[in-house]
Amino acid sequence: MPVSRLPERGRVVCQGHIESVTYMPADQNAAFTAIVSDPDIRETGAKRAQGKGGRLRVVWLGRRRVPGIAAGTEVRLEGMLSQSHGLPTMFNPRYEILSRQENE
């Protein structure tokens, strides 16, 4: 399911690309955060609708880094979706890194 079509809450499986990652400083609680967006937005350069449509915050609590997760990586995520600070958020999801052949 594209990130832009996710429900407000519930268990979901979605696919997108990592737009950015955030590393927490060593003196703060360990958490690794990534912003995931729809692949078609990146590839076509299409503008997002008003608001936060097409973006998902993914947070891995207790982790300073997640192997394979970096800006530009295509991923499939599975987990519970909730709203946090006005942005759809998924905590500690299962993830699968997708190869280019699977996306074409």
86-95: pLDDT as tens digits = 899 999 999 9
State how many domains the chain has.
1
For 50-63, the pLDDT digits (tens) are 345 689 999 999 99
Q: What is the pTM of this model?
A: 0.79
CATH number, position 20: 2.40.50.140
Domain encompassing residue 83: 3-103
Q: Is 70:58 a contact under the CB 8 Å cutoff?
A: no
- In the structure encoding, which two tokens stand for residue 101, read together? 């052949």
pLDDT at 35 over 90: yes
Q: 70 and 21 in contact (C-beta within 8 Å)?
A: yes
What the block records as the tokens of 99 is: 């190869």
